[in-house]
């Protein structure tokens, strides 16, 4: 008992040493809840040779969102100096959901920003990273903010839903950093602001955030950008889409397909000497019909096959565009090397030269297969009275059997 | 209050200290208005004897009919009957009392009188014959008040020892059920019985219990605390180590599991040992419900232990040091709610804990109708007003209330009280050291519990000390269709599988 | 040791298992990845086999020793009263230093993960104070506490690993070919280094009461440790990749940082770090108790408890003085400590026990 009392007394000394210079407390980590400025979005732009860091915080229902900005020689110093904000508030970066970096800064010092995220314990690695084109990041984020729609909500919604909408994919800092460490390159989502001409809701800001393809990153910075088709091809190969809607023209009609199953197989092709000659990329996609403009019988097999062929062609072209860009840049941002290593690790290790050297000359054969699995509720559009033909039901049965 | 007084009371008597005499007994009961001493002549005209008793402890009717009437009948005690002959006759059944004892020691005679006997004193012989004529005035057996069960028996222990032992005997018709009696308390001489099943309950435990009971030194054993502190291995630990129950069926069930029981005259519940942590989280209803339901509720109780212990400390640590753990939306509403509150989180939590304890104490101390009202009013109005006045934030109220309610699910109030103390300590450690303080505090708490033993049985059985085989016994209740082994930790006598 | 202070073989194994989780999280996965690269996630398998062989060897060397005799007593019997005592003192000093290193590592981990603006001192002092208290108690109390804490810690670890699994990509774990065998074996070295910690707990063997005919069964505990090593490595490599995992100090906790539990709690890093501190605390307590037991044997004292506080003070001094900053500590952690550990657990102590076996001292 005496022993326990002695230990408790010794431990309780920690309580009494609040603020003591000897540091036998952890009160230096104490933050008063009411003084916290909850940062949800961080932006960084180049400003001369310096970096301007801006944080956007939400303060709940009763207060307006706030923005704090600081310019300094590095992002760490800028965000550190932000702590010296008015009203004694403390910026808490641990809830940062997305980080937007201006194109100019990304080209010069993206590695520094990523290093800050990786090193600083408050930041989370799964923070989404986006590169802002056609303007600065802070202009975009400020322009997104509306009376009832804080910019952080808009950006979070964009980031969460873009892969579901099939318009892109927001890579997290972890994915980018891991890819840069392992492969020397990475992809990052690009965005830009568009003036919101038709404001459907008063609560929206002046700008809308829109995807602008992908940026190819290397250790030095941005090596190039992918346009929309190349972006689609790249994300298909990397299986980053959750779903995607595409309009496919079939004759006079346009059928809208919801793509929801993506499977990519990539196999290397080696010659007898063991040199890498090419790659075979095979994509399989499953789709559902969600809309049909015009009159067509989707229940008919030949119609669906035409739609599938057209879809496959478009997807193949997108992948070919991405592959072509990769070969043109000499950067394997599609991670074809990784696919090859998993498929034929020994042959890849034994091949003469490096994959990067062989990449520009590889013969890449792309095959895309798609299958339409279902349509929802309505098989064929209802016929008008004028077009209706009264058919013998036995004839209908024979026709449908012939189709299947 | 119960310090040992080494001075023995003097009991003077004409035959010298210790011998039985009417004057001696009258001297002992001097200044006792309820003491009666009357002279009788055996057979109406024969040998003179004295009849001593304490009014209130004896039944007047029984004394008159069973003792005085036969004593005064000439055919039973004809003229010329000697004292020895009279004594033999009384002991052989001429007096109708069902218990008759011959006492040659003043102290024994006085003890008998104080236990509801009347004493027929033969002054010249220095002997008394005592007859049990206890009054029937006692609290009747009622339904349990604290441990209510829907599908169980409705008899609970009362203050009277003999009634309690009879209740046990009615449930366990076992000739090996032993009831050893002891007397505890220098001045109160409270009767105490040690109950066990011979050949089944571990004899070492029984002997150890007997030794501890005999070693209880106090002047009066009128409350359970003194008995408990004498029975337990570690009286300084706030955690209960001896079960207590007012239910007779629970008492007997534990005897059948290999525990021994203690009943104390004047205390309307029984004690059971060895007590382990898992036992304090079991309720009588576990044996009346379906095994799945009982198991789920047992798991809920364990969850409640964690909640009551850790919720306030967790909140304090997270709100002070680890805000990154709070989801964004919740964090925003907490920041908003805290804007007007002038006190830091640590003070809020401590104030609310203290307020909760105050309300609870007030609810207990006040008479029932007022107490309940005060508790409800305190909880609702004070809590709500405090939030509206921005004295505390609503999250703190919710957290503390949850922790408090979780504490109330503890079947054993002693365990709940111990957890409340630990809760305070953990909050203080969370204030000082954050999550690290909580984990260090919990590790030390587990260490403390692991160090407790009850009659050689580790307190944390079956979580510890059972070789990992009996873990499920604590958390789940097996179906009665499945034959179960006895608890190995209780080291019961031979017999193989338990049949329940 | 008193007659009433007895533990079972299983309790000692549980204590060992829980204690070895502490160095495991320190070295995994960065040390294994440093040696093996991408195939490091397979390294726990050969480490397990090596560990099994090692522990069986220890059993052979110590199985015939009388009940109630720990490794310290066996070393004194084996090497003679003077040489044996000197050897025990050397072991005791090493373990005192090692305890200080463990305390310092735990403190640094807390600073790097959840208390970035704190100082080492508060954690080192708190841990060692608590450990001194528990080490001065009975071995059976510490073992029982380990039995109670083990399922809690394992449960949290399993929950965390399952929560982190969806973030994994199997592609990051591949390719692995037969050519990586050598690397896998190299990666097994640091894991095996952890498993050799079983050796230190031989010094507590004197507390074990072993009923006749019951053979110690190490397989489940070694398997559990190896499985834990495998899970930690797989999850970390699958989430971060080998390059990132190697460069990060606390890669596993970096993965944990991104876990959210049903949206109820985010960034559970603080909870997981706090739970893992319990393993450090138990390990510290065990080390202090082991050192106390060594000193008890050397000096002939009746109780090990009297040595707990002085040992804790010495360990505290070691904790503060071992390194001026995290970089120097990393060097100790990467090279000096593992090598010294292997020297003691694989060479010196087994050699001393073997001498005793050959000389038929037990």
- Domain borders along chain A are 32-226, 228-381+389-404
Task: Report the pLDDT averaged over residues A215-225.
Answer: 90
What is the structure's pLDDT at B15?
A: 43
The CATH T-level fold of domain A228-381+389-404 is: GMP Synthetase; Chain A, domain 3 (3.30.300)
In angstroms, rounded to a whole number, what is the distance separating the alpha carbons of residues A51 and A73? 6
List Cβ neighbours of B271 (8 Å cut-off, separation of 6 or more).
B224, B227, B228, B231, B242, B243, B244, B261, B262, B263, B264
ipTM of this model?
Answer: 0.94
Chain A neighbors of C167, CB-CB under 8 A:
126
CB C122 to CB A29 under 8 A?
A: no
What is the structure's pLDDT at A6?
A: 61
User: pLDDT tens, C12-46?
Assistant: 999 999 999 999 999 888 899 999 999 999 999 99
CB A178 to CB C267 under 8 A?
A: no
Q: What is the pTM of this model?
A: 0.87
Q: CATH number of the domain that C331 lies in?
A: 1.20.1740.10
CB B432 to CB A63 under 8 A?
A: no
Does residue C2 lie within any of the structural domains?
no
Stretch (H or E) spanning C276: helix C269-299
- Which of A219, A230, A233, A127 minimizes the C-alpha distance to A170? A127
CB A24 to CB C122 under 8 A?
A: yes
Q: Range of C132's domain?
A: 9-358
**DSSP assignment string, C220-275:** HHHHHHHHHHHHHHHHHHHHH-HHHHHH-TTHHHHHHHT-EETTTEE-THHHHHHH
CB C116 to CB A24 under 8 A?
A: no
Name which of C175, C179, C258 is nearest A124 (Cβ-Cβ).
C258
Task: Look at residue C20 and give its three-state secondary structure.
Answer: helix
pLDDT over threshold 90, residue A23: no
CB C99 within 8 A of CB C315: yes
Name which of B328, B433, B450 is nearest C148 (Cβ-Cβ).
B450
What is the structure's pLDDT at A19?
A: 42
Does residue C3 lie within any of the structural domains?
no
- Give pLDDT < 50 ranges for chain C: 1
**DSSP assignment string, C38-59:** GGGGGTHHHHHHHHHHHHHHHH
User: pLDDT tens, A101-143?
Assistant: 999 999 988 889 999 998 888 888 889 999 999 889 999 998 8
List Cβ neighbours of B116 (8 Å cut-off, separation of 6 or more).
B54, B57, B58, B132, B133, B134, B135
CB C257 to CB A3 under 8 A?
A: no
Does residue C209 belong to the interface with chain B, where contact is any CB pair within 8 Å? Answer: no
Does residue C137 lie within any of the structural domains?
yes
User: Which one of C109, C113, C175 makes the best mutation probe of the A interface by having the most chain A beta carbons within 10 Å?
Assistant: C175
**Nearest-Cα residue of chain B relative to residue A60:** B332
List Cβ neighbours of A398 (8 Å cut-off, separation of 6 or more).
none
**Nearest-Cα residue of chain A relative to residue B436:** A26
Name which of A15, A59, A60 is nearest B428 (Cβ-Cβ).
A15
Task: Look at residue B110 and give its three-state secondary structure.
Answer: helix
Interface of B with C (CB under 8 A): 317-318, 321-322, 324-328, 433-440, 442-444, 446-447, 449-451, 458, 460, 463-465, 467-468, 471
Question: pLDDT tens digits, chain B, 500 residues: what are they?
Answer: 433 444 444 444 444 457 888 989 988 888 888 888 989 888 888 888 899 998 888 888 888 888 888 888 878 788 888 888 888 888 888 888 788 899 998 988 988 898 889 999 998 888 999 998 887 766 778 887 777 777 777 888 988 888 898 889 888 888 888 899 888 888 888 889 999 998 889 999 999 999 999 998 888 878 888 888 899 999 899 999 999 999 998 999 899 989 999 999 889 989 999 999 998 998 878 878 888 888 899 999 999 999 999 999 999 999 999 999 999 888 888 888 888 888 899 999 999 999 888 888 887 777 777 766 776 777 777 778 888 888 888 899 999 999 999 998 888 889 999 999 999 999 999 999 999 999 999 999 999 999 999 998 999 988 888 777 777 777 777 777 665 666 777 877 765 444 43
| Domains in chain B: boundaries | 22-132, 161-275, 290-454
Chain C neighbors of A95, CB-CB under 8 A:
266
User: Is the model more confident about A303 or about B450?
Assistant: B450
Does residue C138 lie within any of the structural domains?
yes
Does residue C148 belong to the interface with chain B, where contact is any CB pair within 8 Å? Answer: yes
CB B317 within 8 A of CB B437: yes
Using the 8-state DSSP alphabet, how is residue A240 labeled?
-
Chain C: nearest CA to A146, how far in angstroms?
Answer: 27
In angstroms, rounded to a whole number, what is the distance separating the alpha carbons of residues C153 and C18? 9
Chain B neighbors of C264, CB-CB under 8 A:
327
Name which of C138, C148, C271 is nearest B464 (Cβ-Cβ).
C148
Total number of domains in chain C = 1
Output C173-176 pairs: Cβ under 8 A, ≥24 positions apart. C173/C38, C173/C41, C173/C234, C173/C237, C173/C238, C174/A341, C174/A342, C174/A345, C174/C38, C175/A341, C175/A342, C175/A345, C175/C38, C176/A345, C176/C38, C176/C39, C176/C42
Does residue A5 belong to the interface with chain C, where contact is any CB pair within 8 Å? Answer: no
Cα C146 from chain centroid (whole Å): 13
Cα C181 from chain centroid (whole Å): 26
Total beta-carbon pairs less than 8 A apart between chain A and chain B: 64
Does residue C33 lie within any of the structural domains?
yes
Task: Report the pLDDT averaged over residues A307-329.
Answer: 94
Categorize the per-residue pLDDT at A402 as very low, low, confident or very high, splitting at 50, 70 and 90.
Answer: confident
Q: Give the position of tokens 């002693």.
A: B414
In angstroms, rounded to a whole number, what is the distance separating the alpha carbons of residues C352 and C55? 16
**Nearest-Cα residue of chain B relative to residue C110:** B436
Task: Look at residue A18 and give its three-state secondary structure.
Answer: coil
C neighbour chains, 3+ CB pairs within 8 Å = A, B
CB C294 within 8 A of CB C72: yes
pLDDT over threshold 80, residue A258: yes
- Which of A286, A271, A403 minimizes the C-alpha distance to A350? A271
Task: Report the pLDDT averaged over residues A7-16.
Answer: 56
Using the 8-state DSSP alphabet, how is residue A43 labeled?
E
Chain B: nearest CA to A178, how far in angstroms?
Answer: 23
Does residue C308 lie within any of the structural domains?
yes
Contacts with C, A 332-361, CB within 8 Å: 338, 341-342, 345-346, 349
């Amino acid at each position: 008992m005496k022993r326990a009392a002695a230990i408790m007394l010794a431990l309780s000394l920690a309580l009494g040493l609040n603020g003591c210079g000897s540091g036998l407390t952890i009160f230096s980590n104490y933050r008063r809840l009411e003084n916290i400025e909850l940062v949800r979005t961080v932006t960084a732009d180049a400003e001369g040779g310096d970096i301007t860091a801006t944080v956007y915080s939400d303060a709940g229902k009763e207060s307006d969102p706030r923005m704090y900005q600081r310019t300094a020689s590095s992002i760490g110093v800028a965000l550190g100096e932000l702590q010296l904000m008015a009203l004694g508030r403390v910026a808490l970066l641990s809830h940062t959901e997305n980080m937007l970096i201006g194109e100019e800064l990304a080209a010069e010092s993206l590695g520094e920003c990523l290093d800050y995220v990786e090193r600083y314990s408050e930041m989370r690695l799964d923070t989404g990273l986006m590169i802002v084109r056609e303007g600065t990041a802070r202009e975009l984020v400020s322009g997104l903010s509306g009376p009832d729609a804080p910019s952080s909500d808009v950006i979070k919604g964009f980031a969460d839903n873009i892969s579901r909408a099939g318009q892109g994919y927001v890579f997290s800092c972890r994915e980018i950093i891991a890819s840069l460490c392992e492969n020397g390159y990475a992809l990052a989502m690009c965005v830009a602001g568009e003036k919101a001409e038709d404001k459907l809701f008063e609560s929206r800001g002046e700008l809308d955030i829109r995807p602008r393809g992908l940026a190819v990153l290397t250790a030095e910075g941005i090596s190039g950008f992918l346009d929309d088709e190349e972006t689609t091809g790249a994300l298909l190969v990397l299986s980053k889409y959750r779903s995607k809607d595409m309009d496919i023209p079939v004759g006079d009609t346009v059928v809208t397909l919801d793509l929801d199953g993506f499977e990519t197989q990539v196999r290397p092709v080696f010659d007898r000497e063991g040199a890498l000659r090419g790659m075979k990329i095979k994509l399989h996609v499953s789709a559902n019909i969600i809309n049909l403009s015009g009159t067509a019988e989707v229940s008919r097999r030949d119609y669906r096959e035409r739609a599938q062929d057209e879809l496959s062609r478009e997807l193949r072209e997108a992948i070919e565009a991405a592959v072509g860009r990769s070969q043109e840049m000499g950067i394997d941002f599609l991670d074809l090397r990784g696919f090859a290593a998993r498929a034929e690790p020994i042959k890849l290790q034994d091949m003469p030269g490096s994959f990067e050297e062989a990449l520009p000359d590889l013969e890449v054969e792309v095959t895309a297969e798609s299958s339409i699995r279902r349509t929802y509720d309505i098989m064929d559009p209802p016929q008008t009275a004028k077009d209706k033909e009264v058919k013998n039901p036995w004839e209908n049965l024979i026709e449908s059997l012939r189709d299947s | 209050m119960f310090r040992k007084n080494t001075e023995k009371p003097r009991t003077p008597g004409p035959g010298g200290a210790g011998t039985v005499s009417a004057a001696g007994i009258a001297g002992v009961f001097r200044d006792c208005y309820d003491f009666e001493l009357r002279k009788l002549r055996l057979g109406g005209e024969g040998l003179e004897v004295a009849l001593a008793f304490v009014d209130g402890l004896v039944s007047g009717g029984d004394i008159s009919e069973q003792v005085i009437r036969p004593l005064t009948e000439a055919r039973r005690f004809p003229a010329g009957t000697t004292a020895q002959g009279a004594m033999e006759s009384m002991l052989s059944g001429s007096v109708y009392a069902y218990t008759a004892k011959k006492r040659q020691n003043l102290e024994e005679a006085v003890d008998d009188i104080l236990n509801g006997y009347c004493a027929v004193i033969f002054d010249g012989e220095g002997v008394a014959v005592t007859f049990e004529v206890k009054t029937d005035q006692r609290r009747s057996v009622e339904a349990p008040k604290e441990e209510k069960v829907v599908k169980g028996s409705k008899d609970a222990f009362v203050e009277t020892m003999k009634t309690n032992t009879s209740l046990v005997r009615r449930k366990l018709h076992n000739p090996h059920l032993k009831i050893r009696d002891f007397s505890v308390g220098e001045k109160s001489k409270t009767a105490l019985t040690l109950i066990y099943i011979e050949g089944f309950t571990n004899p070492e435990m029984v002997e150890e219990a007997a030794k501890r009971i005999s070693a209880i030194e106090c002047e009066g054993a009128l409350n359970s605390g003194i008995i408990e502190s004498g029975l337990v291995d570690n009286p300084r630990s706030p955690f209960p180590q001896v079960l207590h129950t007012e239910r007779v069926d629970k008492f007997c069930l534990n005897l059948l599991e290999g525990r021994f029981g203690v009943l104390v005259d004047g205390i309307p519940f029984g004690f059971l040992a060895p007590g382990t942590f898992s036992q304090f989280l079991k309720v009588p209803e576990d044996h009346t419900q379906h095994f799945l339901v009982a198991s789920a509720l047992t798991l809920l109780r364990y969850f409640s232990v964690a909640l009551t212990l850790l919720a306030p400390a967790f909140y304090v640590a997270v709100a002070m040091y680890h805000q990154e753990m709070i989801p964004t939306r919740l964090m925003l509403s907490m920041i908003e709610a805290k804007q007007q509150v002038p006190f830091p989180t640590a003070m809020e939590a401590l104030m609310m804990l203290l307020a909760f304890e105050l309300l609870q104490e007030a609810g207990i101390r006040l008479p029932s109708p007022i107490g309940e009202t005060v508790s409800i009013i305190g909880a609702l109005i004070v809590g709500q007003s405090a939030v509206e006045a921005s004295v505390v934030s609503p999250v703190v109220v919710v957290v503390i209330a949850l922790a408090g309610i979780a504490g109330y699910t503890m079947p054993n109030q002693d365990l709940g009280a111990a957890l409340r103390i630990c809760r305070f300590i953990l909050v203080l450690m969370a204030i000082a050291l954050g999550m690290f303080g909580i984990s260090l505090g919990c590790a030390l708490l587990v260490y403390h519990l692991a160090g407790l033993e009850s009659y050689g049985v580790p307190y944390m059985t079956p979580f510890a000390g059972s070789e990992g085989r009996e873990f499920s016994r604590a958390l789940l209740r097996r179906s009665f269709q499945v034959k179960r082994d006895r608890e190995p930790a209780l080291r019961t006598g031979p017999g193989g599988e338990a049949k329940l | 040791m008193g007659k009433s202070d007895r533990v079972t073989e299983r309790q000692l194994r549980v204590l060992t298992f829980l204690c070895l989780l502490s160095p495991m999280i320190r070295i995994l996965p960065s040390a294994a990845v440093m040696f093996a690269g991408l195939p490091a996630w397979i390294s726990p398998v050969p480490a397990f086999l090596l560990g099994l062989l090692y522990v069986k060897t220890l059993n052979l060397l110590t199985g015939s020793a009388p009940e109630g005799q720990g490794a310290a007593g066996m070393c004194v019997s084996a090497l003679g009263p003077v040489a044996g005592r000197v050897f025990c003192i050397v072991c005791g000093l090493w373990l005192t230093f090692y305890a200080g290193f463990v305390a310092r590592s735990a403190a640094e981990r807390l600073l790097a993960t959840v208390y970035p603006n704190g100082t080492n001192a508060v954690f080192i002092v708190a841990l060692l104070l608590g450990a001194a208290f528990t080490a001065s108690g009975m071995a059976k109390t510490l073992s029982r506490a380990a039995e109670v804490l083990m399922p809690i810690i394992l449960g949290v670890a399993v929950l965390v690993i399952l929560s982190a699994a969806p973030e994994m990509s199997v592609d990051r774990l591949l390719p692995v070919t037969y050519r990586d065998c050598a690397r896998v074996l190299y990666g097994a070295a640091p894991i095996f280094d952890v498993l050799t910690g079983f050796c230190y707990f031989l010094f507590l063997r004197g507390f074990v009461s072993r009923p006749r005919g019951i053979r110690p069964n190490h397989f489940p505990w070694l398997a559990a440790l190896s499985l834990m090593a495998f899970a930690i490595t797989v999850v970390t490599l699958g989430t971060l990749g080998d390059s990132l995992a190697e460069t990060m100090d606390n890669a596993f906790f970096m993965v944990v940082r991104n876990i959210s539990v049903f949206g109820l709690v985010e960034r559970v890093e603080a909870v997981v770090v706090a739970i893992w501190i319990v393993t450090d605390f138990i390990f510290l307590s065990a080390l202090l108790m082991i050192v106390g037991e060594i000193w008890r044997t050397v000096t002939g004292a009746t109780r090990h408890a009297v040595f707990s506080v002085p040992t804790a003070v010495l360990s505290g001094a070691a904790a503060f003085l071992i390194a001026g900053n995290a970089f120097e500590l990393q060097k100790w952690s990467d090279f000096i400590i593992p090598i010294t550990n292997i020297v003691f657990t694989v060479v010196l102590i087994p050699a001393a026990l073997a001498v005793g076996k050959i000389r038929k001292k037990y």
